[in-house]
Amino acid sequence: MNNRRPIRVLVVDDSPTMANTLTALLTEDPRIEVVGRAGDGNRAVQLARLLRPDVITMDLLLPGLDGPAAIAAIMSQSPARVLVVSAVAEQRGVDLGFQAMSAGALELIGKPNVTNVEELRRWGKDLAHSVCLMAEVPVISRRARTGAVTPPPIGARVDVFGIVASTGGPPALAELLSKLPKDLPVPLLVAQHITVGFTQGMVRWLSQVTTLTVDVARDGERLEPGRVYFPQDGQDLLVDSTGLARMQPSRGGPCPNGDVLLASLAQAFGRRSGGVVLTGMGEDGARGLLAIRKAGGVTFSQDEATSVVYGMPRAALEIRATDQGVPLSSLPELLLQSCVPLNFRAGGGRGEGGVGR
């Protein structure tokens, strides 16, 4: 994209007050120009087709077409980068957010719940920063891809898998988890970058597409096979030396932090650890994946053709944390090939750790 011209943004919100606020906050950034506003889903589809904006900020609880339906129509008629800006306090809005991501939205951002002017301006700067980042994401239809991929090393057996994802991650997680059996012999721990307030909605949404049990982990919880664990809002998820789930407050940077999760698995489980880095912007997860590889564990990253954003998987390949990019459709089988039924046991040293029962 040519950075010398403004990033053209369409604001979609049925509240004139919120639309005015978003417009004012976004246009404080000289890189951004608001080229249109829509107060309902049908008008949003029409303006997306007429204006061809670079980025659309999209509310979800709209008159006429709701947010997910409007996004689906936009992506079929005049594809654009869509950032959902939704009220976290409304459960229906949070749930619709993940339907919107399935329809093609790139990111979920909670509406500001502040009255302090300075806090509102800080939120606006974060939103503008997200818009500028998203403007760099290619708007293309991702191609399904199949083909031969290298299986896990002979004799590699994994007791636990960590999965890291960011932009485009929720739909990728939905596809991956939907293809794994209920009797999956290992637990899965996930670090999906997400705005505070959306975790429970993501857990509810993913629970509808998989036979695995999906939940938010509790500090000190013993990990069980066939379960998928997410961290609590604003927390990093990791495991301690005995294989128990632990929470720690996020220390800045991506939240939850994928490097923290994967490095803890490498430390606790050594060669019995596994890691996957999925679609996302930036480099989170690459160093943690390398730690698993150096410990003798199994590592994978999503390939470019099936990634919405190829930043994190590329970073993992560049530091040789894994050997090849893998199509998303191949990851479930590769993960299964890496696992065997487990004898979960407490304790265990580096490289032989068990998930205690």
Q: Establish if 303 belongs to a structural domain.
A: yes
**Which pLDDT belongs to residue 354?**
44
Q: Identify whether residues 117 and 168 lie together within a single domain.
A: no
Residue 334's nearest CA partner among 295, 305, 301 is 301
Residue 149: predicted pLDDT:
65
> Is 213 part of a structural domain of the chain?
yes
Active-site hit among 40, 284, 330, 338: 284
CB 321 within 8 A of CB 162: no
CATH number of the domain enclosing 226: 3.40.50.180
Mean pLDDT of 244-257: 92
pLDDT at 53 over 70: yes
Domain that holds residue 31: 7-134
* Residue 207 CA, distance from chain mean position: 16
Residue 357 lies in a domain: no
Residue found under tokens 């490097």: 259
Give the pLDDT confidence of 266-320 residue by residue, as tens digits. Answer: 999 999 999 999 999 999 999 999 999 999 999 999 999 999 999 999 999 999 9
In a domain, residue 21? The reply is: yes
The average pLDDT across 39-45 equals 96
As a whole number of angstroms, the distance between CA 85 and CA 93 comes to 10
Reference 355, options 274, 281, 301, 286; nearest CA is 274
| Total tally of structural domains belonging to the chain | 2
Backbone angles phi and psi of 25, in degrees to 5: -65, -45
Are residues 165 and 244 part of one domain?
yes
Residues 88 and 129 in one domain: yes
CB contact at 8 A, 6 and 31: yes
Q: What is the pTM of this model?
A: 0.86
Which listed residue (54, 59, 86, 193) is catalytic? 193
Evaluate if residue 97 carries a pLDDT over 90.
no
Looking at the fold, whether 294 and 185 belong to one and the same domain comes out as yes
Residue with tokens 């008629």: 77
Residues 169 and 86 in one domain: no
The most confident of the ranges 82-91, 95-104, 161-170, 337-346 is: 161-170
Above 90 in pLDDT, residue 88?
no
- Report yes or no on 285 lying in a domain: yes
Average pLDDT over residues 246-275: 95
Residue 2 lies in a domain: no
Element (H, E) at 246: strand 245-249
CATH code assigned at 83: 3.40.50.2300
Query: Is 193 a known active-site residue?
Result: yes
- Specify the pLDDT at position 113: 79
Q: Give CA separation, 2 vs 36, 54, 83, 158, 307, in Å.
A: 20, 11, 20, 46, 23
pLDDT at residue 338 greater than cutoff 90: yes
**96 and 15 in one domain?**
yes
Any domain includes 302: yes
Q: Which of 86, 130, 166, 301 is catalytic?
A: 166
> 50 vs 251, which has greater pLDDT?
50
Strands 273-277 and 160-165: parallel
Model confidence over 124-146: pLDDT tens digits? Answer: 999 999 999 899 888 755 444 45
Q: Read off the tokens for 227.
A: 């379960």
- pLDDT value of residue 143: 47
Arithmetic mean of pLDDT over the chain: 89
Q: 174 and 280 in one domain?
A: yes
Active-site residue 129, yes or no? no
Please say if 102 is a catalytic residue.
no
**Is 290 domain-assigned?**
yes
